Amino acid sequence: MSERIFDRYWAGIDAAKVTERKDPTFGPVTVFHDVVLAREIVQPYNIDGKTLMAYKSADELERYWRWIEGRWAVAGKHPSTPVIVSPDDIAGRTVNIRFVKNLIDHAKTERPNIRGILGDLEVFNDRVAPEILNGMKDGSLPDVSIGFLYAQEMTAGNWNGSDYDFRQVDMFHDHTAFGIKKGRCTWPYCGIGADSLFTIEKSLNGESGKIDMNHMAIVGRDPEETENTIQIPGPGGDCEVTATIQISEDQGIQATYCGGTSEVRTYIFSKEKGWTMEKAQTWVDEHKEDTEAAGDVLIAGGRVYRLIGLDPEEGPRTEEERAKAHFNISDEEWDKLTDEEKQAYIDKLPPRGSAQEQETEGARTDPERAMAHYGVSSEEVWESLSDSARSALIAALPDRGAGGDEMTEEELKAKIAEIQKQIDDLYSESPESAEAEGLYAELEGYTKALAALIAAKVLPETGEGKIGEDEVARSKRLLKDPRLKRDPIRRT
């Protein structure tokens, strides 16, 4: 099966075709009529360093348009995740979708002979900032952008005099973003009253209209190369920067950080350290692999964390970090030890997840547990985090005394298999063995830890009524679809 790739396109809203009505569920609604969402087109894509032409056929659009009806719309930007997972993002919907054959061919003849998709955009007034709605009405914010999945069919051909290398097929719509501040081209493709679709000539990875699902959290800003730096937007969007944090001085990586929202606004890479646009984007991708999770991140102790209950992206703590936390040794004191002394402390550590380690864990305060669990280097770094960031990290800690804390998924599975074998051996010797009760309790602890670790990799439930439940369930199905593979990024 072909790869499934996320893409987005920009189109224009005609401010002259606007009506208002009252919806029994969503209240006052402003309807923008006859918005072009897609059209038949051949367009360039940069794939593996080569420019290939992609064809979006009328046949595929005719199959695709039905899935746009009733789908949700987002105000001001795309959601931070590839597909909508939270009712908080919903600010409208697309309705009255139809396949048409009379869009204007601006590229060549200026005649109404292009096939495509039209629809009406319903904006829920109470869920949209007044400046966005007013801008849409007065024509200063005419653009919309759709997010959808497609697969590549590597079949060459020619359409309307334009050669193409592959076809976009198996398209599936997720959402429409409206009230976008800036489109990517000029009239007639972008202006008010435009009835033709246009591609993003430069995607968020700085290359093509194709966008990897990892980049969906980076909205409205492009990567930028200056004389001395490569700057890659983070998930913080236009959040207010409160600090510039050194992620790795040796590697030449910094980040502008928004303390109010605990988000990274921009990653900054020093070109003196050999960073190129491709290498920098690859680094960001490697540190933001869990695209099924929400996009909130924070910097603590030189590391990147997600505020949804995940461990540090570097994985479980190292043995040195465990030793410093277990024996209450500061970084300065640890650095003064010889290698032999450090190893002696490491050798004295209790097994990961053991009762002795849990006893030590139980004596700590929640902030101390969080600092140790997430590898925060000092109280000063901990106090520099916002209250919401600290609360989120504490809330994401495993339960006190839960077996399996700090263990990887593979270690937990191995431990569960080991305990189960012990139980089986006991029952083979004595079906009424009382010793099995303790093993069952230990098995339950490790099983819960494994379930929590796996759950952290899945989109969090929103729990805000049926709309939220339906959206989360749908998103999980999409993201787990075996056809839905991320577009690979080549390493240099």
**At residue 30, does pLDDT exceed 80?**
yes
Cα distance between residue 311 and residue 376, in whole Å: 12
Give the pLDDT score at 125: 92
**At residue 18, does pLDDT exceed 70?**
yes
Cα distance between residue 424 and residue 436, in whole Å: 9
**At residue 311, does pLDDT exceed 60?**
no
Per-residue DSSP letter, 243 = E
How large is the C-alpha radius of gyration of the chain? 26
Buried b (16+ CB within 10 A) or exposed e, 175-205: bbbbbbeebbeeebbbbbebbbbbbbeebbb
Q: How far is CA 352 from the centre of its chain?
A: 31
Cα distance between residue 95 and residue 136, in whole Å: 18
**At residue 22, does pLDDT exceed 80?**
yes
Which DSSP string corresponds to 370-398? Answer: HHHHHT---HHHHHHS-HHHHHHHHHTSP
Per-residue DSSP letter, 40 = -
Give the pLDDT score at 31: 92
**At residue 13, does pLDDT exceed 60?**
no
**At residue 135, does pLDDT exceed 70?**
yes
Give the pLDDT score at 158: 92
Per-residue DSSP letter, 210 = E
**At residue 194, does pLDDT exceed 60?**
no
State what percent of residues in the chain have pLDDT above 90.
4
Cis peptide before 351, with omega less than 30 degrees from 0? no
Task: Tell me how many degrees the CA angle 280-282-55 measures, rounded to the nearest 5.
Answer: 115
**At residue 267, does pLDDT exceed 50?**
yes
**Which residue, chain included where needed, has tokens 């139809």?**
98
Mean pLDDT of 102-115: 60
pLDDT band for 457, please (50, 70, 90 cuts): very low
**At residue 164, does pLDDT exceed 70?**
yes
Cα distance between residue 322 and residue 490, in whole Å: 35
Give the pLDDT score at 222: 63
**At residue 349, does pLDDT exceed 80?**
no
Better pLDDT: 80 or 432: 80
Stretch among 72-81, 241-250, 393-402 having the lowest mean pLDDT:
393-402
Better pLDDT: 11 or 251: 251
**At residue 472, does pLDDT exceed 60?**
no
